[in-house]
Amino acid sequence: MKLKNTIIWLPALLLIVPVAMALNHYKVKYSISSKGLLYPGQEWVLSRTTEGNLIHSLKDNIHNSISEYTVTEFQRGDFASFSIFEDVFEKGFVEKGDTIGIINSQNERGRQIELLGELERQKKLLSVYSSGERDEEVSIAFESMVLARQEMEAQQQITERNRIMFEKAHISKEEYELSLNEYNTKKQNFLIARSQHQALLSGAKKEQLEYIEAHIAALEKQVNHLNELIEAFTLTSPVKGKIVRQQGVINNNETILRVAATDHYVLIVPVDIYNLPFIRIGQEVLFSLDAESEAYKGSIMGIDNAAQMINGRQKIFVIVLIEYAIDSPGLYPNMMVDVTIPSEPLTIKAYIARLINEVYNN
């Protein structure tokens, strides 16, 4: 009887053993499929606020952060303008360091003229105080002062007339600004001439010389700071890339220019939480426009540590780095692409458990 039972179960045992061995030893390929959003690695945005100030920010899409942020704020009443070079939009592509446009601030330019004039006046004043001048040179200095004052007053009248004409739109802002700069220059010339004349009349003490030297040092620091500020008014692109043209973008500021870096890209891919055991840093990722298109490669460089609900399912975002330029004409920033994440081969047992888990979660 026992022999008979054994003979009956023998075929089943002979079948179960190979199946069990196959489930635990034979392996099959497995990959994770998803959709991903393709972004440039960096994006530089130049925008204008409702108050007229300029904001230029550099976004790092790899780490989802703003790596640089600058605000150029203009004072109330400042005759300021910003001009983008015409060929920027015509060529549609910029190199890193290319000049995009120039800001012209009348207040800062006027301040620069005043500081340079005052610095020159103090230097000449120091030179006069430090030397012993003859009486006849006092007369020459007086005549120079009178001439400088006459030129200043004449230019002041011209500038005032130009101001009225500018307010009535009879002349351009540039013409008025040139007239105002000319007046500031002549005013500084008069102040220098007057200081020289006064210095020749009074002479100087050691304390006066030390005071002038300290004043010159302070003025030089102010001039250097202002020069750096004015130099920053020349805007250059911090990235190499193409100009993004995207209609219908709505934000609090008016976007003037967007430049997307083209030397590397980042792919943001949502993955179901149950797939995380099959994902690791450095793992290869494939993506394409569709099943018929050329596949591009990237590698996982980051995995979020917070879940998000997408279409009622918990997802974790995976960040994929593409460390080369993509020359395909069909790929654009912010485009959705098909993504495949090849996993290491799984045992048949693990593969079946994986399929059951996927069916259950779907």
Number of domains in the chain: 2
> In the listed set 231, 264, 298, which residue is the last one of a domain according to the structure?
231
- Residue ranges for the chain with pLDDT beneath 70: 1-29, 73-82, 105-109, 125, 128-140, 199-211, 229-232, 247-253, 291, 327-329, 344-362
The domain that holds 353 is classified in CATH as 2.40.30.170
> How many contiguous H segments (helices) and E segments (strands) does the chain have?
7, 16
- Does residue 9 sit within a domain? no
> In the listed set 231, 250, 285, which residue is the last one of a domain according to the structure?
231
Domain shared by 212 and 148, yes or no: yes
Domain shared by 55 and 130, yes or no: no
d(CA 43, CA 236): 14
Q: What is the DSSP string of 15-82?
A: HHHHHHHHHHH-EEEEEEEEEEEEEESEEEEEEE-TTS-EEEEEEETTTTEEEEEEEE-PPTT--EEE
- Does residue 8 sit within a domain? no
Which residue range(s) make up the domain with 110?
106-231
Query: How many residues are present in the chain?
Result: 362
- Does residue 2 sit within a domain? no
**Rounded to two decimals, what is the model's pTM?**
0.56
pLDDT of residue 148: 82
pLDDT of residue 101: 79
pLDDT of residue 22: 46
- Measured in degrees and rounded to the nearest 5, phi and psi for residue 85 equal -60, 135
